[in-house]
Amino acid sequence: MAELDSLGEVISADVLVVGGGIAGLAAAITVKEKDPGLEVLVVEKATSGWAGKADRGGGILAFLTPADKPEDFVRFHVHHIGCFLEDQELLSEYAHTCNGVLDHLDAWGVKVAREKNGRWKYVKLPGLDVPWGLAGVDLDMCRRLRRHAARLGVRFLDKVALVDLLRHGDRVAGAIGFGVEDGACRLVRARATILASGSQNYRVMPMWSCGRGDGIAAAYRAGAQMRNAEFGSFVNMVHAASREVVFGAEDHMYNAKGERVSEKYRPGLQPDICAMAAVGWYREHLEGNGPVRVKSEENLLQIGSEILFSTDLVWERPAAIAFWSRLWEKAGAAESGSVASMPEVVPGFIGEQSPVRVDHDMATSLPGLYAVGDVSYSGSAWTGAVPSPPGRIRGTGLMNAVWSARKGALSAAGYAAEAGELPRVDRAHAAALKEGIFAPARREGAGVTALEVVREVQGAMTPVRYSNWKSEARMREALGMVLEAKGKLHALKAADPHDLARCNEARSMALCAEMFYRASLERKESRGWFVREDFPERDDANWLKWIVIREKDGEMAVSTEDIPLEGYPIKP
């Protein structure tokens, strides 16, 4: 393979993990636990142990408390959350085995809060009778995991972005990318590859900023199937001034006339935020009843979340307290001009598109490629008709990341051990990928900046009328905007290696947005998180289906697949 060297540094591993957030770290550790003889390499765009979302979030783990039965969780989920779009077999496996995540984290040196008697310390959501509870983990989990992984012999390559997958025929044979500081091309050859590169969040909300969909785009370009791409339009209600999340705002919204509007849009049992909160906000504005405000004194969750996040009254979590109190202190300064008792809220678009299709072993449709954590959360289909994370259960992001990472790593380790020789990589194939990745760095003369394209894609995603209150006409308009942005990708110009990473991310964002609208146009009904103004009802006769997307002859091919409900215990 000497000739590959002429393209860049070639590195080999038995198992390559793309992305060193919590899912990537958990996967790397699990491979080493299963088979210490396997060489495991984690490649991370920033610095593994510090990178990713896990240590910038709530640090809340939704698990089944001793009072919660897995069967009740499954039934509740199918009826109230995923609305029959779940893979019920995988959902049931999740319900029966997800609690093991707490034991694994604990064994790997992560601090999950315990009672004095040794049991996991947990709380139930105030005012909600749901079959799960919330445990707390401190926000230094990834640093602890990296230390543990290094002790087991996992190797790390930081500040390298892997952009495309290397292939030998259909089989994935590693990945190619470049150093985000030195700009040097790197090729990693591997027997098995695990994608753990997170979801697509379009760089809108600050703390979700690292989710730029690289792994989704890489898998798509390599020919992998995508599923449930139409659910990637997660929003939280956020403070208008600071754009910080106001937890629970959706249940205490008032319009400018002083009318309480939450129940108008969110009737019945609502375990978490739904798309209708943002739709309600939009319709109140449309009718001239904006701005929408939240009555803070009613919002138990906000008071509760401050207690949960930034104090040690419930859980002793020094890193979490440092993170949240610093963030809220600075946000508070920005919010000081607004009415504290009734702050204005706006929808904060997040996205959380996570459509890489995986089976029960977290294997993608391409041999040798596995996908774990946020990159394949919706694609795994256990969560059904919701953007995931959090899938309308806050606290499942971290749980799924570790749970799916363990499953995927065990499968990948087995595959790598039996795979024989490292798969061959054809130089011409690798050179063509390199050409595409580096094109913006070589462009001379005038060009388009990555941020220009990103802004255009954001303009097609953030408005509620496009991505959450959907209609055929408005989605066609948004798709047109996305295609226009896509049309500029060939003119992207990068100023330096960091900017080259942004250019490749802009490609991913345009691709994910296109996928979102093509899948959304296909689904002609409303279900779960998915709301259409022109098809407001759930249509079980026609739409108990998954929408599957893959590349065919350079085009995005959209098809549907019946959900095998006949074999599932819970029927509509």
Contact set with another protein (CB under 8 A)? 45-47, 49-52, 55-56, 159, 180-181, 204, 206-207, 209-210, 241-243, 278, 281-282, 285, 322-323, 326-327, 330-331, 334, 346-349, 451, 458-459, 462-465, 498, 501
55 burial (CB, 10 Å; 0-12 / 13-18 / 19+) is buried
> For residue 120, what are the β-bridge partners?
114
Which residue type sits at 356? V
- Residue 379 binds to ligand FAD (criterion: CB under 6 A): no
- With CB under 5 to 8 Å by kind, the binding choice for 204 among another protein, ligand FAD, none is another protein
Angle between helices 22-34 and 141-151 (to 10 degrees): 30
Query: What distance lies between CA 57 and its chain's CA centroid?
Result: 13
Considering only 78, 101, 113, 161, the residue that binds ligand FAD (CB under 6 A) is 161
Closest to another protein by CB, 161 or 224:
161
Which residue type sits at 424? R
End-to-end CA distance of the chain: 55
- For Cα atoms 400, 402, 408, give the angle at the middle one, nearest 5 degrees: 95
Nearest to 528 by CA among 334, 380, 388: 388
Nearest to 86 by CA among 542, 501, 499, 546: 546
Closest to another protein by CB, 52 or 131:
52
- With CB under 5 to 8 Å by kind, the binding choice for 55 among ligand FAD, another protein, none is another protein
Closest to ligand FAD by CB, 343 or 389:
389
- Please, are residues 508 and 196 in contact by the beta-carbon 8 Å criterion? no
- For Cα atoms 269, 403, 123, give the angle at the middle one, nearest 5 degrees: 45
- With CB under 5 to 8 Å by kind, the binding choice for 389 among another protein, ligand FAD, none is ligand FAD
User: Residues 280, 281, 287, 293: is their CA dihedral positive or negative?
Assistant: positive
Q: Total number of residues binding ligand FAD (CB under 6 A)?
A: 42
- With CB under 5 to 8 Å by kind, the binding choice for 459 among another protein, ligand FAD, none is another protein
The 336-375 contact track toward ligand FAD, x by CB under 6 A, reads: -------------------------------------xx-
- With CB under 5 to 8 Å by kind, the binding choice for 120 among another protein, ligand FAD, none is none
- Residue 141 binds to ligand FAD (criterion: CB under 6 A): no
Closest to another protein by CB, 47 or 341:
47
- Residue 52 binds to ligand FAD (criterion: CB under 6 A): yes
Stretch that binds ligand FAD, among 160-168, 271-279, 356-364, 464-472 (CB under 6 A): 160-168
Closest to another protein by CB, 120 or 202:
202
**From CA 12, how far away is CA 145, in angstroms rounded?**
23
Residue that is written with structure tokens 């972005």 in the block:
161
**From CA 347, how far away is CA 96, in angstroms rounded?**
35
Closest to ligand FAD by CB, 76 or 234:
234
Considering only 8, 20, 343, 348, the residue that binds ligand FAD (CB under 6 A) is 20
Half-sphere exposure at residue 307, Cβ-oriented, CA atoms within 13 angstroms: 11
The 178-207 contact track toward ligand FAD, x by CB under 6 A, reads: ------------------xxx--------x
Query: What distance lies between CA 97 and its chain's CA centroid?
Result: 21
**From CA 371, how far away is CA 172, in angstroms rounded?**
12
- For Cα atoms 496, 501, 506, give the angle at the middle one, nearest 5 degrees: 120
Closest approach of Cβ 437 to ligand FAD, in Å? Answer: 10
Nearest to 440 by CA among 485, 506, 484: 506
**From CA 184, how far away is CA 441, in angstroms rounded?**
12
Closest to another protein by CB, 141 or 464:
464
**From CA 572, how far away is CA 565, in angstroms rounded?**
9
Considering only 162, 237, 279, 460, the residue that binds ligand FAD (CB under 6 A) is 162
- With CB under 5 to 8 Å by kind, the binding choice for 98 among ligand FAD, another protein, none is none
- With CB under 5 to 8 Å by kind, the binding choice for 58 among ligand FAD, another protein, none is ligand FAD
- With CB under 5 to 8 Å by kind, the binding choice for 159 among ligand FAD, another protein, none is another protein
Closest approach of Cβ 125 to ligand FAD, in Å? Answer: 12
φ, ψ of residue 342 to 5 degrees: the values are -140, 70
- Residue 242 binds to ligand FAD (criterion: CB under 6 A): no
How many CB atoms are closer than 10 A to CB 551?
16
Half-sphere exposure at residue 269, Cβ-oriented, CA atoms within 13 angstroms: 10
- Residue 386 binds to ligand FAD (criterion: CB under 6 A): no
Closest approach of Cβ 247 to ligand FAD, in Å? Answer: 10
- Residue 271 binds to ligand FAD (criterion: CB under 6 A): no
- Residue 21 binds to ligand FAD (criterion: CB under 6 A): yes
Closest to ligand FAD by CB, 199 or 270:
199
191 burial (CB, 10 Å; 0-12 / 13-18 / 19+) is buried
Total length of the chain: 572
- Residue 146 binds to ligand FAD (criterion: CB under 6 A): no
Positions touching ligand FAD (CB under 6 A) are 18-24, 43-46, 51-54, 56-60, 161-163, 196-198, 207-208, 210-211, 214-215, 373-374, 389, 394-399, 401
